[in-house]
Amino acid sequence: MSPPAGPAAAAGAERIEVATGHGTALVHLHRAERPAAALLMGHGAGGGVSAPDILAATEVGLGLGVSVALVEQPYRVAGRRTPPPAARLDAAWTAVAERLLGGELAGLPHLAGGRSSGARVACRTAAATGAAGVLCLAFPLQPRGRSGPPRPSRLPELEAVTVPVLVVQGVRDAFGMPPDAPGRTVARVDGDHRLAADLPAVRAAVAAWLPAPLAGPRPGRPGPGDGEGPAGAGPS
C-alpha cells in the first residue's frame, strides 16, 4: 500500500496508478485550469511527495499555468523507505513519464524535477524523457555518512544535463553546494537539506526560473523558425 501522501499532496489531485517494470507507481496529478505545460516531480529517497519544498514548487507551477504530477516511486508505494538501485529508479520514472506524456499530459511541453534523490533521477533521465528543463530541490551533491575515502561527487549527473537546470539549495546543506555553470542556475536559500526554513525564497526562485526553459524549442523537436510554431506556450 502507498504511504500516506498527506492532505496537502492529495488535495485537488487526481490519483493515477502506473504499472512499471518494477512495480506500481502512484501519481498525484494537479491539473492547472488551462495548462500550458507540465512539471513532473519526484521525492527524496525516504520521503514522500508532501515535502514542503515539493509542495511549494507545486503551488508555483499551478499559479503559472503548469500542471504538476507528483510521482511516488514503486518502492514507496509498496511501503519501503530504502530505494532500489539507480537503474530501477530511472526505469520506473521513465515509464511514468511515457504514460503521462502519452496520455493525461499529452501535447504539453514538460519539465522534470524532484528533491534530493528525485532530483538525481530527473537529471539522469532528462534526455530520455525529452524534458525541456530540470528543477532540482536540495541536490545531494556529495555523498556522506560512510567512513573511509570520500565517495565520488554527483556533480557529473548535473553536468550531463543538456537543458536548462535550476538547483535550489540550502546554504547549510550538509551535502554541499553545487556550482553555477552555463545553463545551470543555483539559487542559494536559507536552510539545510530540508529546504523548509525559507519557503518564500524557494517559491521565488522557482517562479523566476520556470517560464524560461518552457519558452525555448522542445528537445528533439523543431522550434520556432523550423517549420513549426512555438512548442507550447510558456506560462505568462
Which domains, from first to last, does the chain contain?
7-142+155-215 (3.40.50.1820)
Helix, strand or coil, per DSSP, at residue 72: strand
Task: Give the global pTM.
Answer: 0.87
Write out pLDDT tens, residues 96-139: 999 999 999 999 999 999 999 999 999 999 999 999 999 999 99
Asked whether 27 and 72 are in contact (CB, 8 A), the reply is: yes
Q: What local confidence, expressed as pLDDT, does residue 195 receive?
A: 97
pLDDT tens-digit map of 183-234: 999 999 999 999 999 999 999 999 999 999 988 766 654 333 333 332 333 3
Q: Is 11's pLDDT higher than 80? A: no
pLDDT digit string, tens, across residues 53-63: 999 999 999 99
- What are the backbone angles phi and psi of residue 62, rounded to the nearest 5°? -60, -35
**pLDDT of 5 above 60:** no
